[in-house]
Amino acid sequence: MSEPERHDLGTPFLRLERAGHLAWCTIDRPASRNALSAAMYFGVKRAVQLVNAWPEPTALILTGVGDVFAPGGELRGRVEDPNPVIEQLGTDEVLPFEAVRNSMAPVVSAVNGICQGGGLLIAMLSDVAVASDRASFRAPELLRGIADTGYAAYLPAHVGLANARDLLLTGRTLDAGEALRIGLISRVVPHERLREEAVAAAESILRTGPEARLHVKRILNERYGRVDRMTMDWSLFRGSEAREGMRAFAEKRAPSWIPDPLQTRKRL
């Protein structure tokens, strides 16, 4: 078997390897539990763009290493992979979520473990998310003081309004079984079969008519609400709660806004 083609995504923590009709993008930053830097977010977007630009039909499968798929963005201020290109770009131009959602090429997430924050958004917006029975899911943004309007727009379409309120307002963790039951993801498989089942899902999508598939995806995407990017950007870059939430996370403590009777002094 020939060696897969390897493509640079602008960060050492993402690997894009293509073999025939499949391309694997692997999140590989184990020392930071696969936390996604700005360059990594942009690299995922770049992977989607590359796959869509190839003339041969190719499906993209996203996965992680170890027991983590992706926990969301880097909150500790560590920048180990600076990318000067993204310093000139706005948030919408860096983040991969809309690229994943609107991709003409099939995108499948093979969720191998912890999946939360921006990692969960990537999985939700993939055409199919195949999860290991060891995976867990969480939307912890409000615990960090972040008004994630992406979640507010996307999550109700997946799980309904009551479940969306529950997940967003409590930040609780779901195991794979509950995530499947409420419709957060569509498939759970034994961990040792994850890659095999992700390939099967990607190949099934590749068998469908690409133009017809695009029209169907466009109609499906209309089920999502509007993402209020202005509010989220204000929260992230100007909001005092987000600054305190991220500082608390980096310092492994609870945020200062928590009432004294509920303080555990531990990271949430």
What average pLDDT does this structure show over 50-74? Answer: 97
Question: Does 192 reside within a domain?
Answer: yes
How far apart, in Å, do the first and last CA atoms of the chain sit? Answer: 46
The per-residue pLDDT for range 220-258, each reduced to its tens digit, is 999 999 999 889 889 988 889 999 999 999 999 999 999
Average pLDDT over every residue of 178-186: 97
- The 10s digit of each residue's pLDDT in 131-144 is 999 999 999 999 99
Task: Tell me the mean pLDDT in the region 175-197.
Answer: 98
| Domain contains 255 | no
**Residue 243 covered by a domain:** no
Q: By C-alpha distance, which of 222, 159, 209 is closest to 186?
A: 159
pLDDT at 1 over 60: no
Give yes or no for residue 2 having a pLDDT over 80: no
* 253 domain residue, yes or no: no
Q: Is 80 helix (H, G, I), strand (E, B) or coil?
A: coil
User: Which DSSP string corresponds to 85-107?
Assistant: TGGGS-HHHH--HHHHHT-SS-E
**Side chain identity at 34, as an amino acid letter?**
N
Q: Which domain holds residue 92?
A: 5-221
Task: Give 36's DSSP letter.
Answer: B
201 has a pLDDT exceeding 60: yes
CATH classification at residue 58: 3.90.226.10
From the CA atom positions of the chain, what is the Rg in Å? 18
The pTM of this model reads 0.95
Q: What is the DSSP letter of 197?
A: H
In a domain, 9, yes or no: yes
Q: Which residue type is seen at 36?
A: L
pLDDT digits (tens, 9 = 90+) for 12-31: 999 999 999 999 999 999 99
- Structural domains in the chain (count): 1
Average pLDDT on 177-184 reads 98
Long-range pairs for 220-229 at CB < 8 Å and ≥24 separation? 221/101, 221/102, 223/157, 224/101, 224/153, 224/154, 224/157, 225/152, 225/153, 225/154, 225/156, 225/157, 226/153, 227/149, 227/150, 227/153, 227/154, 228/149, 228/152, 228/153, 229/91, 229/92, 229/149
Query: Hey, what amino acid is at 40?
Result: M
Strand stretches in the chain, DSSP E? 5-7, 14-19, 22-27, 59-64, 68-70, 107-111, 114-116, 128-132, 136-138, 174-175, 187-189
The answer to whether 130 and 123 have CB atoms below 8 angstroms apart is no
**Sequence-ordered list of residues with C-beta below 8 angstroms from that of 216, at least 6 positions apart, any chain:** none
In angstroms, the CA 22 to CA 18 distance is 6
Compute φ and ψ for 72, nearest 5 degrees.
Answer: 105, -165
The whole-angstrom separation of Cα 83 and Cα 223 is 34
